[in-house]
Amino acid sequence: MLTKSLIICGFPVQAPLRFTAQHPCTENEAATLNALLHKEIVSKVKSLIEKGELAEGQIQAKFTELALAYEFTKQIKLGPDPVRKEAQKIARPMLEKALAKRGTDISQFTEDKLAPLYDQVFAKRPDIMEEAQRRILAIKDFASTALQD
C-alpha cells in the first residue's frame, strides 16, 4: 500500500493512501465527496450571485455546469503541526546562516521549498524537535492550569 509521510506533534507517521484513481467509493465516501463538492460549488455560485454576475434564472444551469466540471485539488493542506511550527522557529536562524554561507537568502524560498531543508536540519539535530515538543507541552500545561484557576 502506498503511504505519505506526515508529522503529528513532531512524530513521523506513514499515512496509508487508501484512495487512488478509479477507487470505488462506499456509500459513505460518495456522500462525503458529494457534500464537499456541493460546498465548493455553493460557495462559487454564491459569490457570483453576490457580485451580480448571475441572475436567478441562471443559477441552476451554472451550478450544474460547475459541478460537472469540478475537479478536486490534488492536495488539501492540513493544519500546521504546532510542534513542527515551533521546531521551525528554533531551526530558522541555523537554516538562515547555512543558506547565507552559500550566498542564498532564506526569503527566496517558499514554505514548500523550505520544508525539505527543515527536514534535513531535524534529521541532523533531533534535539530541536524534542525541544519544540517540550515547549508545546509546557504551553498546553500552562494553558490548562490557567483555565482551571
65 and 39 within one domain? yes
Inter-residue contact 88 to 135 (CB < 8 Å): no
Kindly state whether residue 4 falls inside one of the protein's structural domains.
no
The 3 state secondary structure assigned to 73-92 is CCCCCCCCCHHHHHHHHHHH
Domain end call among 55, 75, 95? 75
Long-range contacts at 73-81 (CB < 8 A, ≥ 24 apart): 78/6, 81/7, 81/8, 81/9, 81/10
* pLDDT tens digits, one per residue of 92-146: 999 999 999 999 999 999 988 998 899 999 989 999 999 999 998 888 888 777 7
Kindly state whether residue 54 falls inside one of the protein's structural domains.
yes
100 and 65 within one domain? no
Count how many domains the chain has.
Answer: 2
Q: Is 1 helix (H, G, I), strand (E, B) or coil?
A: coil
Domain of residue 87, residue span: 82-148
Inter-residue contact 49 to 63 (CB < 8 Å): no
pLDDT band at 149 (very low <50, low <70, confident <90, very high): low
Mean pLDDT computed over every residue of the chain: 85
Using alpha carbons, select from 81, 114, 85, 57 the residue that is nearest to residue 7: 81
Cell, residue 97: 546562516
142 and 89 within one domain? yes
* pLDDT tens digits, one per residue of 14-36: 777 777 778 888 888 888 888 88
129 and 104 within one domain? yes
